[in-house]
A = this chain, B = another copy of it.
Amino acid sequence: MSVINVGVIGASGYTGLELVKILINHPKFTLAYVANSEGETTIDKLHPSLQGVCNLEVQKADIEACASSCELVFLALPHKTAMAYVKPLIAKGVKVVDLSADYRLPQDIYEEFYTPHTDPQNLEHVVYGLPEMYREELKSAKLVANPGCFPTSALLGLLPFMDKRVENTPIIIDAKTGVSGAGKKLSDVTHFVNVNDNLFAYNPLMHRHAPEIAQKLGVDFDEVNFVPHLIPLTRGMISSIYIQVSQDFDASSVLKEFYKDEPFVRISENPVDMKNVAGTNFCDLYVKQKGNILFISSAIDNLMRGASSQAVVNANIMMGLCQKDGIPNIAYVP
């Protein structure tokens, strides 16, 4: 198979860096275009850890330049910004994996939680990029909405058990995330002194990842009770999920059966942790039942499975490659 040229728009942030780190070692993709909002630099000047590894030019983002050099482009742009790039790129026949929230929700829900949508046309055919849910649809997708990090960890934990759940009972998702999820921008919430030795919930019950979870589960927003907490560590995310089930069953076997053909989901006999998935596309799952309560613990790397490596898996599927091509599986342990 010949090489496939791909691009990254939004190379300055954490997810942009992760995309670049994956793509420069990808066996089938060639990183042919890298851009951010300013341009006029190189990737190793933006990210000094790449000194001696990669000095690709970083250009000022331009639709024409991108479309003429890439078959597929990853957009690592802020919510509300991405759609202005998606529309013309799709129009020019470039496939797009969008890491923002712009195409994850139906228009009405999106507009309730974000902003008026300027590209409703592409919303009609977008595929939600959770391979375990939509692998078939991804194969022919032209536009993929890469899932949010919280929805990825929550959905992978919940999907195997939705048919065991007692209807209309609350789904509780108590999530814990590292600070990299807040991005590079400076704020009180990312100041070291406010995070170190600390822990707090934020946007409890009102976070905008909740409607994304509800929507994909096919339940009402009112049934999803989602509270994220900020934890003093850099990368990683665990969702602790509680649902009510009506009967006794072997929950661990349900998990294993559900994911038996999935290369990126691992079932653990012990409570999962963050370090075993850090730097990889794995989602580690653990389940424990007590009476009519099921506790599910779901761990991912928020920047990888929650963003960039999942995006590359989606691209692999879209381009007919093996889904594991170029996907890191060696964790940042110890």
Interfacial residues, chain A to chain B (CB-CB below 8 A): 14, 17, 21, 25, 47-49, 51-53, 170, 172, 174, 176, 178-180, 184, 186-188, 190-202, 204-206, 222, 225, 227, 229, 231-236, 238, 240, 242, 244, 263, 266, 268, 270-279, 282, 286, 288-293, 295, 297, 303, 329-334
Contacts and interface: CB of A to CB of B under 8 A. Distances in A.
A227 B297 CA distance: 10
B235 A334 contact: yes
A230 B303 CA distance: 22
Contacts of A25: 330
A327 to B, nearest CB: 11
Contact of A14 (B14, B236, B240, B334): B334
Given A225-B295, A271-B204, A197 B233 contact: yes
A290 B206 CA distance: 8
A54 to B, nearest CB: 9
Contacts of A331: 49
Contacts of A288: 204-206
Interface of A is mostly: loop
Number of copies: 4
30 contacts: A17-B333, A48-B268, A48-B276, A49-B333, A52-B266, A53-B330, A170-B242, A170-B244, A170-B293, A174-B174, A176-B199, A180-B193, A186-B191, A190-B191, A191-B191, A196-B233, A197-B197, A197-B275, A199-B233, A200-B271, A200-B273, A200-B274, A201-B271, A201-B297, A206-B288, A222-B291, A225-B290, A227-B240, A232-B232, A242-B242
Contact of A242 (B172, B263, B289, B332): B172
A164 to B, nearest CB: 15
A234 B334 contact: yes
B52 A192 contact: no
Given A25-B330, A172-B242, A190-B193, A200 B272 contact: yes
A187 to B, nearest CB: 7
A307 to B, nearest CB: 12
Nearest to A187: B186
A101 B227 CA distance: 31
Contacts of A240: 174, 201, 227, 229
